[in-house]
Structure 1
């Protein structure tokens, strides 16, 4: 895939289009969705442990659609106004990560809830979760400094080297976690498959935060607090 540039109509169209799909699904859920209680929250083992009405689910989807437009659309607008090519690329990759995360996670939530799924530790749900992690990881390492996407620690904002290295590490770890989850989804025992993914994501996040601090501390060009 070629690097996003200042004018990326396909990415802007995807941002708006996916937000409209998620928002439209949310409105439909509120007005014409199932009237019985729907699963809206799952435990770490993948079992449903929270139920809600169609209005609650629909409102959540509409809110996620608005968030997609605010974050993804806002970054697209900022990229069009930026003059520095490096800043443009940073914003476009951040926009791409938003498009690959919030709308896709929203659709996973909607499909699980509307279908009445009470166990998300099965092969297909785990494979879809892993695919989202893989897609996010593929581009996370190319995201430049911004207030919304990436490893946004105080040390990363005080050192460009710390930002780049910690986000590259996070991207690689998320990609490997997603790939491993995708390959093992058909035969991994449940709920160990979901436990493994959740544990790996938490450890990857902690490692990336630690990496931002470690690199900041050794960066001669770091900014002081």
Structure 2
């Protein structure tokens, strides 16, 4: 049953890789010589790339990520723990591939002349990604590649568990906040979400340090 689940995840990831390449090859002949690859928080294009780079950057990235994510657990010194959160791990990598594929579709659409509110789309994408990650974060067991990794969480399993519990709640909160603020103003939502991600990262880092110091002093 485990092998079937792993194979299913592999096929889903390969599906995203294939989709990104197929869509690119379909529209490649009509893409402009310069493609937008970066937008500022106002939603304005502020960086361009050549046609080939702009068209194939994300598909090639997905192609590289595929073996990396699939075989990374095999070289982790704590690889036995992956069996305890394989469902969460599958969810994380599928969510990342879905996010990148969606961003690729948006870039292609913008390059073809469609009016794209990148600020709004990025806020929606990141919000949904963080809600998904937050929901599975509490199920991740100690390892060296996935999760909130710092000297204190990696040094103590209890600190890891409590830090990921708080991190899960904060990630979901940041995602929900981004979607809510999007109803008010997309620029404000984008800036608030970036601030929320930074704040959440700082909070869990400080929290893990306090937990570890408290435990060591007992």
Tell me if both proteins adopt one fold, taking TM over 0.5 as the criterion.
yes
- Choose from 212, 215, 223 the match for 2:208: 212
Q: Normalized against structure 1, the TM-score is what?
A: 0.77
Q: 1:12 maps to what in 2? A: 10
After TM superposition, the structure 1 = structure 2 runs for residues 64-79 of structure 1, keeping only pairs within 5 Å, are 64-75=61-72
- Choose from 188, 194, 202 the match for 2:184: 188
Q: 1:48 maps to what in 2? A: 45
Q: Deviations over 1:144-184 (max 9, x none)?
A: 22332211112111111122222222221111221232244
Q: 1:147 maps to what in 2? A: 144
Report the secondary structure of 1:157's partner residue: coil
Q: Deviations over 1:98-123 (max 9, x none)?
A: 2212x12312321221122564223x
Q: Given that residues 36 and 54 in structure 2 are in contact (C-alpha distance below 8 angstroms), is that contact kept between their aligned partners in structure 1? A: no
Q: Given that residues 143 and 150 in structure 1 are in contact (C-alpha distance below 8 angstroms), is that contact kept between their aligned partners in structure 2? A: yes
Q: 1:108 maps to what in 2? A: 102
Q: 1:130 maps to what in 2? A: 127
**Consecutive aligned runs of 4 or more in structure 1 exceeding 6 Å deviation:** 76-79
Q: 1:200 maps to what in 2? A: 196
Q: 1:89 maps to what in 2? A: 84
What RMSD, in angstroms, separates the aligned Cα atoms of the two structures?
A: 3.1
- Aligned residues between the structures: 211
Q: Given that residues 37 and 54 in structure 2 are in contact (C-alpha distance below 8 angstroms), is that contact kept between their aligned partners in structure 1? A: yes
Q: Given that residues 41 and 119 in structure 2 are in contact (C-alpha distance below 8 angstroms), is that contact kept between their aligned partners in structure 1? A: no
Q: Given that residues 36 and 53 in structure 1 are in contact (C-alpha distance below 8 angstroms), is that contact kept between their aligned partners in structure 2? A: yes
**Alignment gaps of 5+ in structure 1:** none
**Alignment gaps of 5+ in structure 2:** none
After TM superposition, the structure 1 = structure 2 runs for residues 156-195 of structure 1, keeping only pairs within 5 Å, are 156-185=153-182, 187-195=183-191
Shift of 1:125: 4.5
More deviation in 144-153 or 42-51? 42-51
**C-alpha distance 57-149 of structure 1, shift in aligned 2 (>3 A):** farther
Structure with the bigger percentage of helix: 2
Shift of 1:27: 5.8
**C-alpha distance 15-168 of structure 1, shift in aligned 2 (>3 A):** farther
Distance 2:75 2:146 in 1: 14
Shift of 1:76: 6.9
